[in-house]
Structure 1
Amino acid sequence: MPRPDVNRFAELEVFVRVVEQAGFSAAARAAGVSASAVSKLVARLEARLGTRLVHRTTRRFQLTAEGQAFYERALTILADLEEAERAAGAGERPAGRVRVNSSASYLSHVLAPVLPAFLARYPGIDLDLVQTDQVVDLLSDRTDIAIRAGPMPSSGLMARRLGATRMTIVAAPAWIDRHGLPQTLADIEGLSRLGFSYARATSGWPLRKGDGEVTVLPSVGQVRINDGEGLRQLALAGIGPARLAAFTVRGDIAAGRLAPLLEALNPGDEEAFHAVFIGRSAGLPARARVLLDFLAEHGQVT
C-alpha cells in the first residue's frame, strides 16, 4: 500500500508528461523542474509498482509493455479526474480544446458541414483541425481523434467506424473531349492517370476482367498529389482521370463537372472510414468523447 504522503495523481501527471514529451529532460522543461527530479519520481514509481516502465538509454526513449499499459490507464484516470472536476464546477458541460487530424476530403465534404451543429451544441469546445492524408502518430502529435480511410491495421489504437464509400473513376468533360471515352482496360492502360504520391493499401486501380479482377498500375508520366481533395481538383481541371471516393464527387457528377468512367468494370469495392483514438472511448476526456459520439451519428460517409 502506498505511503499516505505519496501524491499518486502528481506521479501520474509527471509520468504522462514524460511519455508525451518522449524523455525526462523535455518533460522537466515543460514542467519547470529539474530532469533529475523527474527521473527520481519515475524511479520511485517503478519501485512502488515493482516493474520497469521505461527503457533508459542515451539515444532514445522507449516504454516497456508494462509502461505502455500503465500510460493508457493513467490517461483514463486523469481524464476521469478532469471530468469530475469540470462536472463539479461547470454543470457537466464539456469544454476545452480537441485536436482532430483529418483528410482534406473528409474535412471538406463531411466534417465541415456538420461542425456548426456540433459547436452550437457544445460552445465551450474549441477545435484544432489538422488537415492531412498522411498517417500521424497520435501520441507524438498530441491528437485526440484522427479520421482515417482504408482498412485498420492491427495496432493499440481504438476505432469507431464512420461508414464506407464506394470508389469510382471520374474525369472532367474537357478531358473526355480530348481523349475520348474509355470503354475497355486497354483504353485506360494507355492513358496518363492521376494518383497519390504516397503509399496506399491499393497501389493501382482494381477493375473487373471477365470473372476476375486485375489491378491497373500507375502509368508513366502520371501526375501525383498527396491528398484526395487535391486529386479531385486536378480531375476537375481536366488534367486526367482519377479514382476517388464517391462521397467526394457525387455533387460534381450530378452537376456535370465530372463524369464516371468504366462503371461496367468497377468491382464495387469500398473504402471504410474510422475515427481512431488512444485507449477506450470511456477513458477519453468528455470534450473528445462528445465529438466522437457526434461523428458516429452525423459524420458517416456513404
Structure 2
Amino acid sequence: MTSQSWDDLKRMAVFASVVRHGSMSAAARALGMTPSAVSQQVRQLEHSGGVTLLHRSTRKLRLTEVGERYHAQCAAMAAAAQQARDELAASREQPGGELRMSAPVGFGRHIAPALGPLLQQHPGLRLRLLVDDARIDLIEARVDLAIRFGPLPDSGWAARRLGAMQWWLCAAPGWLTAHGSPADVAALTALPWVGFSREPGGLRLELRSPDGVTHPLQVQPRMASNNQLSIQQMCEGGLGVALLGSMDVHESLQAGRLVRLWPDWSFGTLDLWAVTPQRETQPAKVRHAVHALQAYLRQLPGVLD
C-alpha cells in the first residue's frame, strides 16, 4: 500500500469522525487534533475525489448526497478498524472497570458466592447488579451481562448456556405432617399448589418416573406469584407444594425448612444462559464473569452441564 493510500485512509477516518461527532471541533477533540488540521484533512479528501462531501455553515455541517454515500463506506471502515483494536485489547486486558449485570431477583443470592472471588482477585473490577424479573433491554440499560432462564427469544444478542437447573417437588415438614406425601400422580392434582401466576390455564408438567414413563400433569395453583423466591417462601411457610429450583433450595433442605418429595422422579429442567448484547469479542470483565458463573453453578446440587 502506497503512502498516498495510507493518507487517504486517515482522511476517511477523520471524515467519519466529523460526521459522527457533528462538528470539526468535536472531532478534533476526539482525535487529539486541532480543528484546522481536521478541516484540512476533509478538504484534501474532497480535492482528491473532486466532489463536495459537506456543506459547511457557521452553525452546522450537512452531508451532500454523494457525501452520505461516501460516509457509509468510511464509517464501515472505521468500525472494522475499531473492532480489530478491540479484539487485540480483549486478548490481553485484565478485568477492570464497571461490569453492569442483570439477573432475576431469585438469582441475586448467587452473585456474591459466584463473583466474589473474581472481584477479590481484580481490585480494578466493579460490579453494578440490576435485579429484575422482567427481561430488560440490554442496550437501553447498558447491561454487559444478563442471566436468563428458559427459552430465549430470537434476537441479535449472544447467548452462552451455563447449565440446566432441575425442578424439585418440595413441601414444608409441617405441611407433610398435616397432609402426608401424595401416593400417586393422580393425587398430585388434588394438592394445594404454589406456582407462577403467569402460566395460563395453570401449570403444565411432564413427570418422568424412575422407569422412564412420562406422565403429563396439569394443576391449578391455589397460591401464585410471578417471583420464584416468593413461591419458595410460601412453600416454606406451609401453604402447599411447589416445584422449586434445585440450585435455590439446597440450604432449605439441609436446614429442614423443606422436604423434597419423590426424589427419584424427574420434574424437568430449566436452562440457564449468560446473555450479552454483542456477538463480537467480549471484554475481559465479561469473559471472566461468565467463566466464574459456570464454575460456581457446576458445583451446585441439581445443576446439570
TM-score by length of structure 1 reads: 0.68
| Residue in structure 2 matched with residue 156 of structure 1 by the alignment | 156
* In 1, Cα distance between equivalents of 2:170 and 2:134: 23
| Residue in structure 2 matched with residue 277 of structure 1 by the alignment | 276
Deviation of residue 82 (structure 1)? 11
Runs (4+) of structure 1 moved beyond 6 Å?
A: none
Q: Which amino acid aligns with 1:100?
A: M
| Residue in structure 1 matched with residue 11 of structure 2 by the alignment | 4
* In 1, Cα distance between equivalents of 2:246 and 2:112: 17
Number of residue-to-residue matches in the alignment: 250
* In 2, Cα distance between equivalents of 1:145 and 1:76: 24
Deviation of residue 159 (structure 1)? 1.5
| Residue in structure 2 matched with residue 240 of structure 1 by the alignment | 240
Does the C-alpha gap of structure 1 residues 291 and 252 become closer, same or farther in structure 2, counting only changes over 3 Å?
same
| Residue in structure 1 matched with residue 285 of structure 2 by the alignment | 287
Q: Tell me if 1:77 matches 2:78.
A: no
| Residue in structure 2 matched with residue 212 of structure 1 by the alignment | 214
TM-score by length of structure 2 reads: 0.67
Does the C-alpha gap of structure 1 residues 240 and 156 become closer, same or farther in structure 2, counting only changes over 3 Å?
same
* In 2, Cα distance between equivalents of 1:233 and 1:263: 20
* In 2, Cα distance between equivalents of 1:183 and 1:212: 17
* In 2, Cα distance between equivalents of 1:76 and 1:179: 67
Q: Which string of whole-angstrom CA distances, capped at 9 and with x for unpartnered residues, describes residues 8-31 of structure 1?
A: 3575688xxxxxxxxxxxxxxxxx
* In 2, Cα distance between equivalents of 1:180 and 1:94: 52
- Match of 1:99, SS? strand
Q: Tell me if 1:47 matches 2:69.
A: yes
* In 2, Cα distance between equivalents of 1:193 and 1:13: 58
Any stretches of 5+ residues in structure 2 without a counterpart? Answer: 1-7, 23-58
Q: What percentage of aligned pairs have identical amino acids?
A: 29
Q: Which string of whole-angstrom CA distances, capped at 9 and with x for unpartnered residues, describes residues 257-301 of structure 1?
A: 11112445x33522111101122251x333333322332333445
| Residue in structure 1 matched with residue 195 of structure 2 by the alignment | 195
* In 2, Cα distance between equivalents of 1:134 and 1:208: 30
1:48-67 to structure 2, matched below 5 A, reads 48=70
Say whether the 8 Å CA contact 2:156–2:277 is kept in structure 1.
yes
* In 2, Cα distance between equivalents of 1:76 and 1:278: 20
- Match of 2:193, SS? coil
Say whether the 8 Å CA contact 1:132–1:227 is kept in structure 2.
no
| Residue in structure 1 matched with residue 44 of structure 2 by the alignment | none
Q: Which amino acid aligns with 2:214?
A: G
Deviation of residue 101 (structure 1)? 0.8
- Match of 1:97, SS? strand
Q: Which amino acid aligns with 2:183?
A: Q
* In 2, Cα distance between equivalents of 1:146 and 1:78: 22
Does the C-alpha gap of structure 1 residues 46 and 230 become closer, same or farther in structure 2, counting only changes over 3 Å?
farther
- Match of 2:99, SS? strand
Deviation of residue 199 (structure 1)? 5.0
1:89-168 to structure 2, matched below 5 A, reads 92-108=93-109, 110-168=110-168
Q: CA RMSD in A?
A: 3.8
Q: Which string of whole-angstrom CA distances, capped at 9 and with x for unpartnered residues, describes residues 19-53 of structure 1?
A: xxxxxxxxxxxxxxxxx969x57x998532559x9
- Match of 1:161, SS? strand
- Match of 1:298, SS? helix
- Match of 1:194, SS? strand
Deviation of residue 172 (structure 1)? 0.5
Say whether the 8 Å CA contact 2:206–2:267 is kept in structure 1.
no
Does the C-alpha gap of structure 1 residues 13 and 298 become closer, same or farther in structure 2, counting only changes over 3 Å?
farther
Q: Which amino acid aligns with 2:82?
A: I
